[in-house]
């Protein structure tokens, strides 16, 4: 595994267990549902059972009269006082419905909150919610995003006059010329199914108002406390500097908690209005219905190729099902798909047209990978289809279209600049780990024995470390602070908000090495806007690359200041002083060494400081990334499909991921394994299903089949290390790699297994019933 080259082995590069774990394995961490405040009230939401309905009348008298009830509020009573839910991405012709915190005269999706009950206990609130009587008049429902664009379709939001939220296109190179000169054009329609993120901890929040100070504290299970602090004040009428947002221990996010939700805004408003803390904890069925979904794109994709398998151009029209409202990043997901649609390949011409469509469903937004899994899936499927059409080896087609290592930084036709890469190197290593020739021979022999055996490859690239501020709606910098305390202990404050990624450990590793202190002396704080003053939070595999870099800047500033202080105390010039093993000394003197305890004491007690020397040993920094990073890798999957049941068994799985330098290979491995598990779910089982009436059929774990321990194969994991040149750590990010790289490898393997039956493409998920039907059909033909 990698270490920072040229330096002695420190903490960085070591597979270390995490410093955050003891509280978690003991069950003494504090998640939002564990908070109990004096006088705390409990909110329960009344939600629409209809996908589209007129809300004719809401009778709340019985609920208000129920025991323990403090208040019942409908849209008419709160929407005027609470602003609308924000969407951070906008483009010129974006049509946006007014997204109030509670439904107004219409409910637009199953789970749409129409009223909220606040009571002394959660039981009393739930009982009273049952007594809220809503008269609904069901209205025509829009569920199919393609039919939604046809003339005469019912409208999700009649006041917008159309179901099309936006059209967006991307062009690069001469797409018409590419298709004109192509030897072959391969076409495939693909549907990338809707998915539900399903963190095991649902959402929840506690809002508490301190009337004396006029301050509001919102504890919420979120990935983005800082963005909430930016966005919420205007909604509920409080100054930004009177709002404190805390993400306590957060039980998984995966993008589902990368949002400002109606419930958070409304509980905040009610805490101020009622003068008491208000708590809301989401149930699982609410989570499935009213927390964002992901993916859900359908398109017709065309590639122009030369007969030797070089891809000349890619064009497509994608329809993205946005659901009924724009949440924080809803429109930005399919457009991100467009930016990375050319994958790891030199494709000189591209055209992508995206239509975002409103339907009577929950909003889609960023689910782990967020736009990139869609792109990777479609390009990796297309490459396999190209290979099949031309009778070429799919690995060879990939190889022929890679940019060579010396072509980096590599400019794509979509306008991105890939920072660094060696795609061939990762592919070669993965093939070695998979014992490629043996694997291919095994396929031959298994097929000869009548088995449906397939091999799938995915050579992905992703876009991470989000990102340069010019490309990010709310800024893409990150903030950090490092403080040598008066005792010599070190406090690190980060503007990102880890919720499982382990940056209490990785940031401590980085700082411990650079300051030469034991890791036990370091505490990493995060997730509280009153402690971490600035931040852009955790998403897009950005934490270590962007905030780790801010922390490096802080350490450099402290070292510079400490060197000046040490020089003064040692009667030397700064350039005569060297720093090693956590102490400063005059070079070659073998004399007195000043460690952090001595220097911190001097810096804060401030009796012996040189004239004009600012007391204290603390630095904060904003890091502005000059570019995104582009992690990449190769996943190889071999499957056997049961001819009688359609069950898929993954018989071999190899992943080689290159996320640049690795701070902690154990945590990298955990991120990769976790990501692949999401892909296994997506490729083989998971699909969020609404029926034609807009009823959600996958409303809980019973109906939404996430992978369990028995569904996970043994992995062979490896890595290559191509440092990123765009940050001082050379890291690229790894939180989403598995979810982006693995799905197409699995899908390609299953399709390869069915190839002898003449099956060329099936949409995800490749669930047993679908495969069983395809196998039966294949046998008939």
State the residues that interact with other proteins by CB under 8 A: 17-18, 20-22, 24-31, 33-34, 123, 197-202, 249-254, 283-284, 499-502, 666-667, 669-670, 673-678, 700-702, 706-710, 712, 714-715, 738
Backbone angles phi, psi at 710, to 5 degrees: -75, -15
Adjacent-strand bridge partners of 357: 164, 321
Closest distance between other proteins and the C-beta of residue 43, in Å? 16
The residue behind tokens 């007129």 is 54
DSSP per-residue codes, 425-463: HHHHHHHHHTTHHHHHHHHHHHHHTT-EEEEEEEEEE--
Residue 82 CB, shortest distance to other proteins, in Å, is 28
CB of 528 or CB of 686, closer to other proteins: 686
Minimum CB distance to other proteins, residue 248 (Å) = 11
Is residue 209 helix, strand or coil? strand
Contact 192, 295 (CB under 8 A): yes
Nearer to other proteins, 379 or 637 (CB): 637
Task: Using the minimum distance from each CB to other proteins, give the nearer residue, 254 or 402.
Answer: 254
Least spacing, CB of residue 84 vs other proteins, in Å: 30
Our CB check for other proteins shows the closer of 604 and 701 to be 701
* Nearest approach, Cβ of residue 752 and other proteins (Å): 23
Q: CA separation (Å) from 239 to 118, 230, 234?
A: 25, 10, 8
CA 684 to chain centre: 21
In contact, 183 and 754? CB cutoff 8 Å:
no
Our CB check for other proteins shows the closer of 148 and 655 to be 655
User: To which residue do tokens 């690995």 refer?
Assistant: 395
CB of 272 to other proteins, least distance (A): 26
d(CA 210, CA 729): 42
Smallest separation (angstroms) from other proteins to the CB of 709: 4
Cα separation, 383 vs 13, in Å, equals: 35
Minimum distance of other proteins from residue 183's CB (angstroms): 42
Q: What are phi and psi of 685, to 5 degrees?
A: -130, -45
Closest listed residue to residue 756, CA positions, set 459, 457, 458, 443: 443
User: How far from each other are the two terminal CA atoms of the chain, in whole angstroms?
Assistant: 50
330: Cβ contacts below 8 Å, ≥ 6 apart? 87, 89, 292, 322, 323, 356, 363, 364, 365
* Nearer residue to other proteins within complex by CB, 575 or 710: 710
d(CA 33, CA 521): 30
Chain position carrying tokens 């957060």: 250
Q: Alpha-carbon distance 334 to 337, whole Å?
A: 5
Quote the least distance from Cβ 287 to other proteins, whole Å. Answer: 9
Rounded to whole angstroms, how far apart are CA atoms 297 and 192? 5
Whichever of 388 and 716 has its CB closer to other proteins, that residue is 716
- What's the closest the beta carbon of residue 779 comes to other proteins, in angstroms? 31
Residue 307: closest CA among 186, 457, 176: 186
Return the number of the residue (475 or 705) whose C-beta is nearest other proteins: 705
Nearest CB to other proteins, comparing residues 291 and 318: 291
Count Cβ atoms within 10 A of the Cβ of residue 283 and give its class: 0-12 exposed, 13-18 middle, 19 or more buried.
middle
Q: In this complex, which beta carbon is closest to other proteins, that of residue 592 or of residue 708?
A: 708
- Per-position b or e across 319-348, b if 16+ CB within 10 A of its CB: bbbbbbbbbbbbbbbbbbbbbbbbbbbbbb
Give yes or no for a contact between 724 and 419, defined as CB atoms under 8 angstroms apart: yes
Tell me which residue has tokens 């034991």.
518
User: What gap in Å lies between CA 715 and CA 745, rounded to an integer?
Assistant: 13
Nearer CB in complex with other proteins: 594/676:
676
Measured distance CA(692)–CA(631) in Å, rounded: 40
* CB of 460 or CB of 479, closer to other proteins: 460
CA distance linking residue 677 with residue 695, whole number of Å: 27
Smallest separation, CB 738 to other proteins (Å): 8
Query: Nearest to residue 567, comparing CAs of 606, 511, 618, 608?
Result: 608
Residue closer to other proteins by CB (options 251, 741) is 251
The minimum distance between CB 619 and other proteins, in angstroms, equals: 30
Question: Of 34 and 176, which CB lies nearer to other proteins in the complex structure?
Answer: 34
Minimum CB distance to other proteins, residue 12 (Å): 17
Q: Which is nearer to other proteins, 127 or 752 (CB)?
A: 127
Residue 316 CB, nearest distance to other proteins (Å)?
31
Angstrom CA distances, 456 to 110, 232, 236, 755, stand at 38, 46, 51, 12
CA–CA dist 173, 416 (Å, integer): 13
- Min. distance of Cβ 591 from other proteins in angstroms? 43
């Amino acid at each position: 595994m990698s270490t920072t080259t040229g330096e002695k082995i420190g903490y960085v590069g070591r597979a270390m267990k995490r410093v955050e774990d003891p509280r978690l394995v003991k069950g003494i961490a504090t998640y939002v549902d564990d908070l109990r405040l004096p006088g705390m009230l409990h909110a329960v939401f009344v939600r629409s059972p209809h996908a589209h309905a007129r809300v004719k009348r809401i009778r709340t008298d019985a609920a208000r009269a129920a025991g323990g009830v403090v208040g019942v509020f409908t849209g008419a009573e709160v929407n005027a006082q609470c602003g609308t839910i924000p969407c951070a991405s906008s483009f010129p012709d974006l049509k946006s419905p007014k997204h109030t915190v509670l439904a107004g005269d219409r409910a637009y999706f199953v789970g749409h909150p129409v009223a909220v009950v606040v009571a002394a206990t959660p039981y009393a609130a739930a009982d009273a919610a049952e007594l809220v009587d809503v008269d609904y008049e069901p209205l025509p429902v829009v569920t199919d995003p393609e039919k939604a664009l046809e003339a005469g379709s019912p409208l999700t939001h009649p006041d917008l006059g159309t179901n099309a939220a936006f059209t967006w296109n991307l062009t690069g190179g001469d797409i018409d010329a590419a298709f004109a000169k192509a030897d072959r054009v391969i076409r495939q329609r693909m549907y990338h199914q809707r998915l539900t993120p399903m963190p095991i901890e649902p959402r929840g929040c506690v809002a508490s108002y301190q009337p004396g100070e006029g301050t509001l504290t919102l504890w919420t299970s979120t990935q983005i406390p800082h963005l909430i602090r930016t966005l919420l004040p205007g909604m509920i009428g409080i100054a930004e500097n009177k709002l404190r947002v805390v993400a306590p221990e957060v039980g998984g996010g995966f993008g589902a908690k990368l949002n400002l939700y109606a419930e958070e805004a409304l509980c905040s408003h009610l805490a101020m209005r009622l003068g008491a803390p208000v708590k809301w904890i989401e149930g699982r069925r609410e989570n499935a219905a009213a927390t964002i979904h992901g993916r859900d794109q359908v398109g017709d994709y065309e590639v122009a190729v030369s007969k030797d398998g070089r891809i000349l151009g890619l064009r497509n029209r994608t329809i993205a099902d946005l659901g009924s409202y724009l949440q924080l990043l809803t429109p930005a997901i399919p457009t991100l798909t467009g930016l990375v649609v050319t994958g790891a390949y030199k494709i000189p011409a591209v055209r992508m047209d995206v239509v975002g469509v409103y339907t009577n469903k929950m909003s889609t937004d960023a689910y782990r990978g967020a736009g990139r899994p869609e792109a990777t899936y479609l390009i990796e499927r297309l490459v396999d289809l190209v290979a099949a059409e031309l009778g070429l080896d799919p690995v060879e087609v990939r190889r022929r279209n890679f940019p060579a290592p010396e072509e980096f930084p590599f400019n794509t036709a979509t306008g991105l600049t890939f920072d660094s890469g060696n795609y061939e190197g990762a592919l070669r290593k993965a093939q070695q780990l998979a014992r490629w020739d043996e694997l291919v021979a095994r396929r031959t022999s298994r097929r000869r024995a009548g088995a449906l055996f397939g091999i799938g490859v995915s050579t992905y690239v992703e876009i991470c470390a989000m990102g340069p501020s010019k490309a990010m709606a709310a800024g893409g910098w990150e903030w950090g602070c490092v403080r040598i305390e008066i005792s010599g202990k070190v406090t690190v404050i980060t503007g990102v908000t880890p919720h499982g990624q382990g940056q209490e450990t990785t940031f401590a590793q980085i700082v411990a090495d650079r300051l030469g202190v034991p890791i036990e002396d370091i505490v990493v704080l995060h997730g509280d806007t009153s402690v971490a003053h600035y931040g852009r939070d955790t998403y897009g595999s950005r934490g270590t690359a962007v905030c780790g870099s801010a922390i490096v800047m802080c350490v450099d500033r402290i070292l510079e200041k400490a060197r000046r202080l040490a020089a003064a105390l040692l009667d030397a010039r700064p350039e005569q002083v060297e720093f090693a093993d956590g102490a400063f000394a005059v070079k070659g003197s073998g004399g007195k060494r000043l460690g952090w305890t001595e220097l911190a004491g001097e810096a804060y007690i401030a009796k012996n400081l040189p004239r004009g020397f600012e007391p204290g040993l603390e630095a904060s920094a904003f890091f502005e990334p000059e570019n995104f990073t582009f992690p990449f890798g190769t996943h190889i999957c071999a499957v056997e499909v049961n001819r009688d049941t359609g069950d898929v068994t993954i018989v071999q799985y190899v992943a080689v991921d290159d996320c640049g330098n690795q701070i902690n290979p154990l945590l990298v491995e955990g991120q990769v394994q976790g990501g692949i598990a999401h892909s296994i779910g997506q490729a083989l089982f998971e699909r969020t299903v609404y029926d034609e009436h807009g009823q959600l059929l996958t409303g809980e774990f019973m109906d939404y089949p996430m992978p369990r321990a028995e569904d996970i194969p043994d992995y062979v994991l490896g890595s290559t290390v191509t440092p990123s040149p765009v940050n001082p750590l050379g890291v690229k990010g790894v939180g989403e790699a598995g979810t982006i790289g693995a799905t197409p490898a699995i899908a390609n393997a299953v399709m390869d297994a069915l190839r002898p039956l003449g099956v060329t493409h099936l949409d995800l998920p490749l669930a047993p019933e679908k495969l069983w039907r395809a196998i039966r059909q294949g046998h008939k033909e």
